[in-house]
Amino acid sequence: MRGPRGLSPGGEGKGMGFLRSFRLELEALSPVHVGTGEAYPAYAYVPDFAKKEVHLLDPGALLLALPEARKRQYLEKVAQGPKAAQEVLRYLYEEGQLPREAVLRTLPASSAFLETVRSATEEAALEYRPLPSSPLGPYLPGSSVKGSLRTAWLFHVLMERGQVAEWDQKAKVWRLRAWRERDGEVLIHPSRNPGLSENQDFEGAVLGYARKGRRGLDLYQDPFRAVRLSDSGPTPTFLNRIGVFHPTKDTSGMVLLAETFRRDTRFVLTLRYHEGLGQRGGVSMPIPPEALARALRDYYGRVAEWEKRLAEDYGLKKALEVYEALSERLKDPGVFPLRVGFGSGRLALRLALLLPENHPEGQEPKTRKTVGARNPQDGYPLGWMVGRLQALS
């Protein structure tokens, strides 16, 4: 089998302690957005362009507080569309007629976000996507970080075992076989258009919790059942503009407004590893945190090198700043990279480094999502972080 190998699963942490706890420190090297499936509509926020901030509103409280004439005006404009709704809210705000009790909170906003709102056409939706939030404020979900850990571990297991995963189209199951020299760099052979079910079955086959001899998954054997991650604490955020970079096409109309964590934001989560589950057959395999950190360095280090080449080819200066900062931080052997949230890949099958070159998911992507700039070429890539694990006594 080719390439450098990481640690064998189970090669570290052989003590029989049931629970090991770690402090997981993360730092964002580029803006991060984690979706919630929700959208904040244009009639529920108003920007202050001079202060570069946005007031988030409670439309119900706003309607209760407005005089009858202003209430009718507001509702008429909302019915006309997002741009008209923004215009009436701006008028009320500039005239000092926006009730304070209708303002839920105020967030800073990037120049790119504000300019997108200011110059919007009648067709623009002008809704923005919020981050997950509790009554204390926005936070980074442990589940999103855990998804990034899982992707790196899938890569690690395939590389370490020297296995190739092939989708059996007739039987609708994944089959694992030994790597052969003619396979080269290709370790995954999915269908042409893999869906969610195929992706879930792929994870089950590679991580050893697919039911033997029949379809379906034994979720109690999923090894990540032994890995628990807390959410971060409440964290300051920033309203931003996400665009799409294409080397030859005009993508200026492909815009998404979103709440993001800023670059250099630091997070602290708690990782708990139930060591006994892996050692006593409670799950399909152990995932020692030390080996997991090595898997993250290997997988996301390769992904960053892959992306860096495109940034060099097309002069994406802000993106290169991120990859260079990442390279510098990885000189510390205790640090690992990871990619979290929106823009980091839809399914775990997007282990594109291991797919055939002629597979749609194995080819160099034609576009890149970038954030924080009116011109997508000048934006940052999304979701890059560095992390460090520290054992808690």
- Residue 69 and residue 30 share a domain: no
pLDDT value for 246: 59
- Residue 268 and residue 209 share a domain: yes
How many domains does the chain contain in total?
2
Whether 118 is covered by a domain: the verdict is: yes
Write down which residue in 126, 149, 165 finishes a domain. 126
- Residue 334 and residue 352 share a domain: yes
- Residue 225 and residue 119 share a domain: no
Whether 133 is covered by a domain: the verdict is: no
Report how far apart the first and last C-alpha atoms of the chain are (Å, whole number).
Answer: 39
- Residue 240 and residue 94 share a domain: no
Whether 3 is covered by a domain: the verdict is: no
pLDDT value for 161: 92
pLDDT value for 8: 32
pLDDT value for 351: 67
Whether 1 is covered by a domain: the verdict is: no
- Residue 297 and residue 225 share a domain: yes
Whether 10 is covered by a domain: the verdict is: no
Q: What is the mean pLDDT of each run of 10 residues along the chain (393 residues)?
A: 35 57 97 91 95 95 93 94 94 91 94 90 84 94 95 93 91 91 88 85 93 83 96 95 71 78 97 89 93 96 88 87 96 96 61 66 64 80 95 87
- Residue 200 and residue 326 share a domain: yes
pLDDT value for 11: 38
Whether 11 is covered by a domain: the verdict is: no
- Residue 160 and residue 257 share a domain: yes
- Residue 323 and residue 185 share a domain: yes
Q: For residue 347, which of 199, 209, 205, 180 has the smallest C-alpha distance?
A: 199
pLDDT value for 378: 80
Domain that holds residue 308: 19-37+140-391
Whether 12 is covered by a domain: the verdict is: no
pLDDT value for 10: 37
Whether 14 is covered by a domain: the verdict is: no
- Residue 105 and residue 119 share a domain: yes
Write down which residue in 99, 126, 153 finishes a domain. 126
- Residue 333 and residue 288 share a domain: yes
Write down which residue in 62, 94, 126 finishes a domain. 126
- Residue 250 and residue 354 share a domain: yes
